[in-house]
């Protein structure tokens, strides 16, 4: 990294620091030049690397799927069409198995979520020093290339799903039906004196359950991918421990990368499946 000697702690901190633009209390708006400056920007900070890689990956997804649609043929399909059709069939099968309502948005949404999260997770398999080193050559000193290791990204995805849950809950059941769902279960009574108490207790319980959906969606994805990234960083540190430890680190990195492919795919699948299930619950009317 720039040919300078750094400690293991500095190396880890460098790889876990985002390329940050924001408002610094002392210097005004600008780029953060150290991890401390990035932290001091607080809420007034934008992670340019997370946004850039996220937008770039969704654009890549849209480009190849649009290309496959334009070149689709009823004859012998090419490799791209085969791959796209396999993914679409896989997503449709999961939607049919988990979503009992009728909504033309769910399948495209599930497809987008699965592919987008998968591509963001897949960036974790790029050697941890490669892209940061390439960007350092043009003066960019911080570069996190795995958007799903940024809680801002995972929370943004989860909040988008949460907004759809609220929208369809109110649209299908009405405001009264949605509020009744939150206050009418699990405890019920015909006693007029106890009914307000039960409604309040139900609201607290169901409210916690409702809020837990976006939190669990975001933190599950972030936690698993952050842990995977950290392991890759720790393995990379082994290359500075001599040739024997370096060879062992290379073998360990290969084994972890093979295992991590399952994690990358599984986390994308879980995020997609929970989104489908939550939207199915939003469409279900309780009587």
136 is an active site residue: no
Residue in this structure with the two tokens 């769902």, named with its chain if needed: 181
Per the CB < 8 A criterion, the answer to whether 280 and 100 are in contact is yes
Is 44 among the residues known to form the active site? no
Tokens standing for residue 78:
């090419």
Q: Which of 8, 92, 216, 240 is catalytic?
A: 216
> Between the CA of residue 42 and those of 21, 37, 38, 92, what are the distances in Å?
11, 9, 7, 41
Q: For the chain, where are the E strands, in sequence order?
A: 20-24, 28-31, 45-47
**Bridge partners (DSSP) listed for residue 29:** 23
Nearest to 236 by CA among 227, 245, 224: 245
Q: What is the largest CA-CA distance in the chain?
A: 77
C-beta separation of 49 from 59 below 8 A:
no
DSSP assigned state of 184 = S
Sign for the CA dihedral angle at 68, 74, 79, 81 comes to: positive
Q: Which residues contact 189 (CB under 8 A, 6 or more apart)?
A: 195, 198
Give, as one character, the DSSP assignment of residue 141. Answer: -
CA of 105: how far to CAs of 99, 169, 264, in Å?
A: 12, 15, 25
Choosing from 103, 136, 152, 220, the catalytic residue is: 220
220 classed as catalytic: yes
**Spatial distance between the Cα atoms of 77 and 74, rounded to a whole number of angstroms:** 7
In sequence order, what are the beta bridge partners of 22? 30, 45
Distance CA 256, CA 152 (A): 26
Catalytic residue IDs? 216, 220, 224
């Amino acid at each position: 990294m720039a040919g300078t000697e750094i400690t293991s702690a500095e190396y880890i901190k460098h790889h876990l620091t985002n390329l940050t633009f924001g408002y610094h209390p002392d210097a005004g708006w600008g780029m953060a030049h150290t991890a401390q400056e990035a932290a001091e920007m607080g809420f007034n900070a934008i992670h340019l690397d997370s946004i850039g890689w996220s937008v770039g990956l969704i654009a890549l997804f849209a480009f190849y799927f649009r290309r496959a649609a334009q070149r689709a043929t009823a004859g012998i399909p090419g490799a791209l069409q085969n791959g796209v059709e396999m993914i679409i069939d896989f997503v449709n099968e999961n939607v049919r198995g988990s979503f009992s309502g009728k909504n033309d948005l769910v399948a495209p949404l599930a497809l987008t979520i699965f592919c987008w999260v998968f591509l963001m997770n897949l960036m974790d398999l790029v050697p941890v020093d490669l892209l940061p080193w390439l960007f350092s050559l043009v003066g960019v000193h911080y570069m996190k290339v795995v958007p799903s290791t940024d809680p801002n990204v995972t929370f943004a995805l989860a909040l988008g799903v949460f907004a759809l849950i609220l929208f369809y809950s109110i649209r299908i059941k009405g405001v009264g039906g949605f509020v009744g769902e939150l206050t009418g279960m699990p405890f019920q009574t015909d006693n007029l004196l106890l009914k307000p108490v039960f409604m309040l207790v139900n609201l607290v319980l169901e409210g916690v359950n409702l809020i837990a959906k976006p939190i669990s969606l975001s933190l599950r994805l972030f936690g698993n991918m952050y842990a995977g990234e950290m392991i890759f960083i720790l393995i990379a540190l082994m290359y500075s421990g001599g040739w024997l430890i370096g060879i062992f680190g290379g073998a360990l990195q290969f084994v972890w990368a093979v295992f991590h492919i399952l994690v990358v795919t599984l986390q994308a699948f879980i995020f997609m499946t929970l989104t489908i299930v939550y939207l199915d619950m939003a469409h279900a009317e309780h009587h």
